[in-house]
C-alpha cells in the first residue's frame, strides 16, 4: 500500500505540467543565472581590481577562490536548514545575504575586505543552489524532470556568458565596482521574483508540519489542477530526531551518498579545470592569446546547448545512462583536444563539444541527485553533494598549476582530467535510484 506522499508524487508525475510548475522552474533558472554571474564576476574584474590595489598573483588567486570557498560552506552548512525551515524560506534568506555581499563588495576598500565579502556572497549562493535545484526537481513531472533541472544549469551558462558582456560594458563606462553593484541590485530583485512565483516545496510541506501546512498544500494543489488532500499523512513516531547529516550517512543511505560525493567532486574538478585553464593551456600548446580566449568563450556557449540537450534526452531515456554517456564523451573529447590544436577550426569545434558535454555532466548530477534522497533530507543530500563538488572546484586549478610547475604538458593534463571524469561516470553508474514505492 502506497503512502499518501507517494500517491501525491505519483499523481504529479503522471499529470501534465501546470503554469505554476513551469513558473517555479523559471524562477529556479533565474537563481542559477545569478550563480553563473557571481562565479565569474571576480574573473571579469580581476585585472582592474589587481591594478587598483597592486595585487600579487597569489593575492589575486585568493580572491578568485574566495567565492568558491563561500559556496562550498553555504552548501554544506546551510542546506540542512532548508529541510528544517523550508526550501523557499532559505532561498529568501540567502538572497539577502548574497545581495548584501555583492553591494558591499562594490564599496570595499582593500583586498581583505573584498575577499571576506566574496566568501559571504558565496555562502548565500551556495545555500540558494541546494534548495533551488530541489524545488525544480519536485515541481516537475516525471517526463520533464530532467529538462527542468538541466535548464537550471543552462541558467548558469547564460549567467556566465551574459555576465562577461555586462562586465565589459560597465567597466568601460563606470569601473569595476559598478559590476558588483549591478550584481547586488539584480540579486535583490530576485527576492521579489521568489515571493511572487516560487512556491514552497510540496514534499517539505508534507514532511515538516506547521499549523497551516494543509491549507498551504491544498492551495498549491488547486493551482496545479490537482485534487485537495483531506488531511495530512500520518507521521511515524521516532524516539528522537537524528541529525540530517547522520541520516544521509546512515546504513541505508551511505553508499549512495559516498557515490554522490565522488560524482560531484570528479565532475566539478573536471568542469572547473576546463573553464579555468583552457584559454591559458591553448596558448601553452601554441595558439595565440586571442585564439585561447575564443576557445574559452566557446566552452560556455557550448554549455547552453549541452544542458538543454541533456534535458531533452532525459525525457526519453534514463537520466543515469544519459549522464554516463556525457561523462564518457567529455573524456574522449578531452583526450583529443590538445593534439588537435594544430588545426584551429577543429580545436574550436572540439571546444564547443567539450563545453556541451561537460556542462551537461554538471546539469545531470543536479537533476539526478534529488531522486536519490527521501524528502526529509533531500536538501541536505543535494547540498552536501554540491559542497563536496565545490571542494573539487577549488582543488582543480591548484592541482593543475602544481602539475604544470612540475613539468606536465597540456596534453597530459587533459588526459588526467579525462580519467577523472571517467571515474565520475562510473560513480554515477553505480547510483541506486529508489523506486517511488520505497522513497
Which tens digits make up the pLDDT trace of 320-363? Answer: 999 999 999 999 999 987 787 677 778 778 888 888 898 889 88
pLDDT at 339: 82
**How far is residue 356 from each of residues 130, 151, 306, 326, measured CA to CA in Å?**
23, 13, 4, 9
CATH number of 243-439: 1.20.1250.20
What pLDDT is stored for residue 438 in this prediction?
38
pLDDT for position 144: 83
The three grid cell numbers given for residue 238, joined into one nine-digit string:
521516532
User: Nearest 5°: CA angle at 333, between 328 and 337?
Assistant: 155
Long-range contacts of 331-337 (CB under 8 A, 24+ apart): 331/418, 331/419, 331/421, 331/422, 331/425, 332/418, 333/357, 334/270, 334/274, 334/414, 334/415, 334/417, 334/418, 334/421, 335/414, 335/415, 335/418, 337/414
CATH class of 1-230: mainly alpha
Predicted local distance difference test score (pLDDT) of residue 439 = 37
- The x, y and z cell numbers of residue 204, run together, are 517539505
Enumerate the CATH 1.20.1250.20 domain ranges in the chain, comma separated.
1-230, 243-439
Q: Which regions in the chain score pLDDT beneath 70?
A: 1-6, 208-211, 233-242, 277-285, 287-297, 341, 435-439
Give the whole-angstrom CA distance, residue 151 versus residue 340.
31
Which residues, including other chains, have CB under 8 Å from residue 88's CB and lie 6 or more apart? 131, 135, 194, 198, 199, 200, 201
CA 425 to CA 317: how far, in whole Å?
16
Q: Between the CA atoms of 197, 202, 204 and 210, what dihedral angle is there, to the nearest 10 degrees? A: 90
| Centroid of chain to Cα 322 | 18
**Burial readout 395-415 (b: 16 or more C-beta within 10 A, e: otherwise):** ebbebbeeebeeeeebeebbb
Contacts of 98 (CB under 8 A, 6+ apart): 34, 38, 121, 124, 125, 128, 187
Cβ–Cβ < 8 Å for 64, 46 = yes
| Residue 242: predicted pLDDT | 63
Q: Where does 253-405 have alpha helices with state H?
A: 254-284, 289-314, 319-337, 344-368, 378-405
Express each pLDDT in 144-196 by its tens digit: 887 787 787 788 878 877 777 788 788 888 989 999 999 999 999 999 999 99
Cα-only R_g, the chain: 21
CA gap 138, 140 in Å, rounded: 6
In this structure, how many other beta carbons lie within 10 angstroms of the beta carbon of residue 367? 30
Amino acid at each position: 500500500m502506497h503512502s499518501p506522499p507517494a500517491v501525491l508524487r505519483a499523481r504529479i508525475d503522471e499529470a501534465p505540467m501546470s503554469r505554476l510548475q513551469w513558473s517555479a522552474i523559471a524562477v529556479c533558472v533565474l537563481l542559477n543565472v545569478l550563480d553563473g554571474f557571481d562565479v565569474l564576476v571576480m574573473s571579469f574584474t580581476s585585472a582592474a581590481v589587481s591594478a587598483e590595489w597592486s595585487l600579487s598573483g597569489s593575492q589575486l588567486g585568493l580572491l578568485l577562490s574566495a567565492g568558491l570557498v563561500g559556496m562550498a560552506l553555504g552548501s554544506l552548512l546551510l542546506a540542512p536548514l532548508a529541510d528544517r525551515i523550508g526550501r523557499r524560506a532559505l532561498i529568501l534568506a540567502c538572497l539577502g545575504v548574497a545581495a548584501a555581499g555583492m553591494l558591499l563588495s562594490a564599496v570595499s576598500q582593500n583586498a581583505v575586505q573584498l575577499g571576506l565579502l566574496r566568501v559571504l556572497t558565496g555562502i548565500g549562493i551556495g545555500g540558494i543552489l541546494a534548495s533551488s535545484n530541489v524545488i525544480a526537481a519536485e515541481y516537475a513531472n516525471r517526463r520533464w524532470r530532467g529538462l527542468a533541472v538541466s535548464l537550471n544549469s543552462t541558467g548558469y551558462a547564460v549567467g556566465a556568458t551574459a555576465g562577461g558582456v555586462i562586465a565589459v560594458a560597465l567597466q568601460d563606462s563606470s569601473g569595476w565596482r559598478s559590476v558588483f553593484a549591478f550584481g547586488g541590485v539584480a540579486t535583490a530583485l530576485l527576492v521579489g521574483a521568489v515571493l511572487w512565483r516560487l512556491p514552497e516545496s510540496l514534499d517539505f510541506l508534507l514532511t515538516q508540519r506547521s499549523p497551516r501546512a494543509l491549507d498551504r498544500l491544498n492551495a498549491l494543489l488547486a493551482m496545479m489542477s490537482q485534487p485537495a488532500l483531506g488531511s495530512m499523512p500520518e507521521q511515524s513516531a521516532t524516539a528522537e530526531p537524528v541529525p540530517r547529516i547522520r541520516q544521509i550517512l546512515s546504513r541505508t543511505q551511505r553508499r549512495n551518498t559516498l557515490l554522490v560525493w565522488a560524482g560531484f567532486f570528479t565532475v566539478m574538478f573536471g568542469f572547473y579545470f576546463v573553464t579555468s585553464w583552457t584559454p591559458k593551456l591553448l596558448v601553452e600548446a601554441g595558439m595565440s592569446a586571442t585564439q585561447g580566449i575564443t576557445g574559452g568563450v566557446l566552452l560556455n556557449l557550448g554549455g547552453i546547448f549541452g544542458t538543454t540537450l541533456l534535458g531533452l534526452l532525459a525525457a526519453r531515456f534514463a537520466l543515469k545512462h544519459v549522464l554516463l554517456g556525457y561523462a564518457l564523451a567529455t573524456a574522449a573529447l578531452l583526450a583529443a583536444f590538445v593534439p588537435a590544436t594544430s588545426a584551429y577550426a577543429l580545436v574550436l569545434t572540439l571546444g564547443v563539444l567539450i563545453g556541451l558535454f561537460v556542462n551537461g555532466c554538471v546539469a545531470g548530477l543536479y537533476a539526478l541527485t534529488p531522486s536519490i534522497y527521501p524528502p526529509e533530507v533531500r536538501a541536505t543530500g543535494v547540498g552536501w553533494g554540491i559542497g563536496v563538488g565545490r571542494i573539487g572546484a577549488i582543488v582543480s586549478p591548484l592541482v593543475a598549476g602544481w602539475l604544470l610547475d612540475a613539468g606536465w604538458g597540456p596534453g597530459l593534463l587533459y588526459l588526467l582530467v579525462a580519467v577523472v571524469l571517467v571515474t565520475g561516470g562510473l560513480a554515477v553508474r553505480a547510483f541506486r535510484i529508489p523506486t517511488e514505492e520505497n522513497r
